[in-house]
Amino acid sequence: MDNYQSLDLAQLIREVQGRHVLIAAHGFNVTRADGIAALSNWESLLQLAPPAVFVAVLWPGDSIWLHGLDYPEEPQVADGAGSQLIAPFLDAHFGGAASLSFASHSLGARVILQAISNMTLPVRRAVLMAGAIDDNCLNTEFQAAAARIGEISILASHEDEVLSLAFPLGNFFAGILDAGHPWWHSALGRSGPSNPPPANFQAPYQIPDKWEFGHGDYLQVDPAAPPPPPFLVPTPAYVPAQGSDPPAGGAPGWQQSFSAAFASTRFR
């Protein structure tokens, strides 16, 4: 939380004026304190070329009851946060930015896609990491939003334990409550987008299985580990091939360092 700063609205507007803005949203079952800690830590690993500024979005993604078992209701919370709160706020106050881009983790994908759906301002880039959302969402529910984004990037992992187990189960119950979320779809953050991907989708996206990249690894904060060294992947299109060894020699914290490096290259 060392990088966390509280700004009033006038200060925030001045900070984004004329700058390329990257707006990031955390995922489901994340408290306010954990969201601040995770996004502040991730910001310290980003390597954004100036003039650029990072803005963290905290939304009510922490569990309402029974610590995570209310997942079927949370997409509605995410939708409301994006469409009713974030979109009008950005339209009202971020018009002076040079550009707007987004990054998200887990159910935060719904937050930013709903925001984009309801904004009038253009969107330059979007990076959806471990998206806890149906794999066909960019061709169905959020097709119009996807078409409004300059370039879309995804990070997905077959080793994501949440999206391989909890997500399909949660979607089954969500399908009972809301027919718009049929349970049989895979998660975007596990296998990537269903075919055909949008024309503005930038591949590759699949993290090597050998890395055993879990759902919480993208924005993890490990107080016991030394800060991981920031590093950049070689090109904006680069994701290592299957069978590749973990980067940075597998040093503690390399996972969030990789996700930050990936987002940094896609943001450029």
Tokens 């300059």 locate to 150
174 has pLDDT over 60: no
**All structural domains of the chain with their residue ranges:** 9-267
Tokens 């507007």 locate to 13
Q: What tokens were used for 87?
A: 């979109």
263 has pLDDT over 90: yes
Q: Which of 79-88, 115-124, 193-202 has the highest mean pLDDT?
A: 115-124
pLDDT confidence of residue 62: 62
Q: What are the phi and psi torsion angles at 113 (to 5°)?
A: -70, -35
Rounded Cα distance, 93 and 155, in Å? 30
Per-residue pLDDT tens over the stretch 186-234? 789 998 998 899 999 998 899 999 999 999 999 998 776 666 667 666 5
As a three-state string, the secondary structure of 63-103 is CCCCCCCCHHHHHHHHHHHHHHHHHHHHHHHCCCCCEEEEE
Residues near 163 by beta carbon (within 8 Å), at least 6 away in sequence: 130, 132, 157, 186, 187, 189, 190, 215
Amino acid at 148: R
pLDDT confidence of residue 180: 46
pLDDT confidence of residue 241: 84
Q: What tokens were used for 159?
A: 């080793």
With cut-offs at 50, 70 and 90, classify the pLDDT of residue 245.
Answer: confident
- Mean pLDDT over 45-67 rounds to 78
- Mean pLDDT over 116-144 rounds to 95
| CATH (one of 1.25.40, 3.20.20, 1.10.3470, 3.40.50) for 9-267 | 3.40.50
pLDDT confidence of residue 183: 47
Average pLDDT value over all residues in the chain: 84
18 has pLDDT over 50: yes
Using only C-alpha atoms, the chain has a radius of gyration, in whole angstroms, of: 17
With cut-offs at 50, 70 and 90, classify the pLDDT of residue 7.
Answer: confident
- Mean pLDDT over 42-54 rounds to 91
2 has pLDDT over 60: no
Among 36-40, 88-92, 195-199, 221-225, the minimum mean pLDDT is found in: 221-225
pTM assigned to the model: 0.87
